[in-house]
């Protein structure tokens, strides 16, 4: 049997892309972790909004999916903190949101300089494709 190498990641180094997921829903964190850890991603999780900015700075993620409803605050506040810090401002952020409509989600993306949206319910291929699209 001949092994054919994957074309994924051709534009970046051999190391795994770091994904920092910020969400307070344990089931969703488990689902996203299962989707992403089997392949080319190194996953870090934060379930508390207050830990998000420091985790983004310390772990140096390549991309950050953020839920719009984090228990202590809104996802927008988390995003504002990350974007306000010069050390993390350039990291692409994706909204995790089944909580907002199509137009509202698009407006949030444009207004806050976000990379995109992962819609719920999530599909493995769509989640991976959305993340990879912003890592290229």
**Cα separation of 92 and 61, whole Å?**
9
111 has pLDDT over 80: no
3 has pLDDT over 70: no
Confidence at residue 110, expressed as pLDDT on a 0 to 100 scale: 62
Chain-centroid distance, C-alpha 78: 13
pTM score of the predicted model: 0.81
19 has pLDDT over 50: yes
Length of the chain equals: 136
Min mean pLDDT across 27-31, 95-99, 129-133 is at: 95-99
Confidence at residue 44, expressed as pLDDT on a 0 to 100 scale: 94
Domains in the chain, start-ordered, CATH in brackets? 17-22+30-133 (3.40.50.2300)
Coil, strand or helix: which one is 109? helix
Q: Report, as an integer, the average pLDDT of 25-30.
A: 91
Compute how many other C-beta atoms are within 10 angstroms of the C-beta atom of residue 5. Answer: 6
Longest dimension (CA), the chain: 53
Min mean pLDDT across 15-19, 55-59, 100-104, 112-116 is at: 100-104
């Amino acid at each position: 049997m001949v092994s054919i190498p994957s074309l994924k990641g051709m534009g970046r180094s051999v190391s795994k892309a770091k994904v920092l997921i910020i969400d307070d829903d344990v089931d969703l964190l488990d689902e996203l972790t299962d989707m992403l850890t089997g392949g080319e991603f190194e996953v870090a999780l934060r379930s508390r909004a207050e830990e998000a900015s420091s985790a983004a700075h310390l772990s140096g993620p390549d991309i950050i999916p953020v839920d719009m409803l984090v228990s202590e605050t809104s996802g927008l506040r988390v995003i504002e903190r990350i974007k306000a810090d010069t050390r993390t401002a350039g990291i692409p952020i994706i909204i995790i949101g089944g909580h907002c409509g199509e137009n509202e989600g698009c407006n949030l993306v444009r207004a806050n300089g976000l990379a995109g949206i992962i819609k719920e319910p999530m599909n493995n291929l769509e989640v991976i494709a959305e993340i990879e699209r912003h890592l290229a």
